[in-house]
Amino acid sequence: MNYTDQSIMYSRIGVYSATGHSEARRLQTEEVNGLRHVLLLRQRYAVLRVDDVNVEDVFTNKSFDESQWEYNNYYGVFLISRVGKTPEWPEFLPKIADFTRDVETARRVVSSPQLRRLALHRLSLLERKFLLHVSMNIANEGGVKEEKEWNNRDFYTAHKVDNNIQTEAGPNARTLLEFFVEKALNHGDDVVFEEKNQPVTLRQLISRYHIDTQTITVDELNHQLNTHADLHTIFLSPFNFMQGRYFAELTKRTLDIYKEDAYSFAEFRLSMLGGSSQEWYELGHWFDRYGLVSPQARCMVRFPRQYRRLRQQGVVKNFGEYLDNIFQPLWEISLHPASDTKLHYFLTHISGFDCYDDESKIDLPSQ
């Protein structure tokens, strides 16, 4: 759309609702007050921190005796204490009853149809204000010719970080296709999994799906990977019969591409389901086994909202077990790093955690 076109007629929008019904105004006022209350609740949880305490100093202190400490799970919250002593609930953490009440309040407010209409109304207003700004100041925003040239130069010399990238989506289409064809032609005898206690080679699997490695295209390869779960797991997952060897080799090729540009970095996402605490150990060993450390990249571990499916399939019995699978290994390695040095090494290269999926849905098991 050409925002400078004088023939464009921008629609008018009222700052306040057009309705004059007293009941509608009362509902709007209640929802706005509820939203303000939720924002105050957010501040209560967003600023949780312990002042004057450096956690790393605790574990690097030579006088620290890990055998004198233990951790326990209370309502999904891990608390550390000396062996044999009952831990006290931290003052900076809300009580479980308060947390449950605050969650219910937030859910009730954000699910309000009236509040959603007000939010859409405000977004529409902001969009039109921006379009008005663009139409009035587009010449000033562009800058003079010399400034544009310097801006282009700065783009290539500025440090750029690609984030929110799934590790399996890191390689470009050409790299993925070349890797697949190379493995199919030169490593067809690799045993990729077992079926009915019989080994299945890569050549047999490709023949089963009638894949022609001489004429396969990028689109066809994507279709095959998305259609056949076993093929996707072999090439794009660290959790498989081959212990993620193909996936690691493909990831290293992607990291080599980043090394060619001194100004490009990446923050890849590695996925875990939370169905078993062993996922942490398997992922840590995979990372260490294939030497995936790179100065150009860091990793984030992401957890899809799959509790509903895991509960229905009987993988986990309750939400508490699901939380234990995610956080218990981290406490164990933090307190006893020598118990699994590979996982401890992997955690030193993790920049954070992420939970993704449709956040408008409450991830609860269906009755």
pLDDT at 18: 47
Please give the distance of CA 5 from its chain centroid, rounded to a whole number.
Answer: 41
Per residue in 149-166, pLDDT tens?
565 566 677 778 888 788
CA–CA distance, 182 with 32 (Å, rounded to integer): 60
When pLDDT is cut at 50, 70 and 90, the band that residue 3 belongs to is very low
Per residue in 87-128, pLDDT tens?
888 777 888 888 889 989 888 888 888 888 888 888 998 999
Spatial CB neighbours of 362, under 8 Å, sequence gap ≥ 6: 107
CA–CA distance, 10 with 120 (Å, rounded to integer): 17
When pLDDT is cut at 50, 70 and 90, the band that residue 205 belongs to is very high
pLDDT at 56: 56
Per residue in 135-148, pLDDT tens?
888 777 665 555 65
pLDDT at 47: 64
Per residue in 161-203, pLDDT tens?
888 788 888 888 899 999 999 999 999 999 999 988 899 999 9
Per residue in 46-75, pLDDT tens?
765 555 555 555 556 667 788 888 888 887
Which pTM value belongs to this model?
0.76
Average pLDDT over residues 338-354: 90
pLDDT at 107: 86
- In angstroms, what CA-CA distances link 71 with 62, 120, 348? 20, 46, 21
Q: What is the CA radius of gyration of the chain?
A: 27
Spatial CB neighbours of 18, under 8 Å, sequence gap ≥ 6: none
pLDDT at 113: 84
Q: Would you say 194 and 230 are in contact if contact means Cβ atoms under 8 Å apart?
A: no
Of 47-56, 92-101, 236-245, 346-355, least confident by mean pLDDT is: 47-56
Structure tokens at 224: 């095959």
Q: Would you say 331 and 76 are in contact if contact means Cβ atoms under 8 Å apart?
A: no
Quick check: helix, strand or coil at residue 192? strand
When pLDDT is cut at 50, 70 and 90, the band that residue 305 belongs to is confident
| Helical (H) or strand (E) element with 73 | strand 69-74
DSSP state of 66: G
Structure tokens at 132: 């008005």
pLDDT at 13: 47
Within 10 Å of residue 346's Cβ, how many Cβ atoms?
24
Place of tokens 């020598």: 338
